[in-house]
Amino acid sequence: MKKLAIFSVTLLLMAAVFAFTVVAPTWKITDKYNISFASNEVGGIFKTFKGSITFDEANPATSGFDVTIDVASINTGNGLQNKHAKSDEWFDATKYPVIHYVSKKIVKAGNAYQVTGDLEIHGVKKEFTIPFTFQRKGNAATFNGTFNVNRNDFHIGKPGGDVSDNIKVTVAVPVTK
């Protein structure tokens, strides 16, 4: 009888552990994403974006992002500007080939969400919070966000000069299950 009681308690504890271990669904990034940037002087897109996204809108604490942007995929619509942006004076795409973001926590914020994580650009890693919305349609959804990045925080270009310090970034990332 004592063995049965110990066995029952063990089963209950294991069931409780599995009940509280929630894994967010994995979403696959489609090729219809848009990662754009703009200032008063220049704007453009990054053409190559990839990574892994797990997200559960009902339980964002179980969610996570680990995404990268290929710096060499920058496209301003001007070949000379593209070359200049990839050079060591700006992004230095040869030495720092990716922009990398890894989430630490995701929380609900009103009708939207906020993800806080480590953003690494140009060899500089900083904690960074990005607001976003999540719009689901069946097995598909889209993450949308708009935020500003101060390029000086990441030592991109020279402070002041011809390009604004704050760059507006807009992301639209369609995903499927």
Tens digits of per-residue pLDDT, 42-59? 899 999 999 999 999 999
CB 72 within 8 A of CB 97: yes
Give the helix/strand (H/E) hosting 18.
Answer: helix 2-20
| Rg of the chain on CA atoms, in Å | 21
Q: How many CB atoms lie within 10 A of CB 173?
A: 23
Region at 28 (left for phi over 0; alpha for psi -120 to 50; beta for the rest): beta
pLDDT value at residue 83: 97
Neighbour tally for 13: CB within 10 Å:
10
The answer for residues whose C-beta is within 8 angstroms of residue 50's C-beta and 6 or more apart is 29, 67, 68
Q: Are 116 and 129 in contact (CB under 8 A)?
A: yes
pLDDT in tens, 20-79: 445 789 999 999 999 999 998 889 999 999 999 999 999 999 999 999 999 999 999 999
Q: Is the pLDDT of residue 92 over 90?
A: yes
Task: Give pTM, 2 decimals.
Answer: 0.85
How large is the average pLDDT for residues 119-141?
Answer: 97
90/96 Cα distance (integer angstroms) = 11
Predicted confidence at residue 22, as pLDDT, reads 59
Q: Answer whether residue 16 shows pLDDT above 60.
A: no
The pLDDT assigned to 7 comes to 44
Domains of the chain: 24-176 (2.40.128.110)
pLDDT (average), residues 141-168: 93
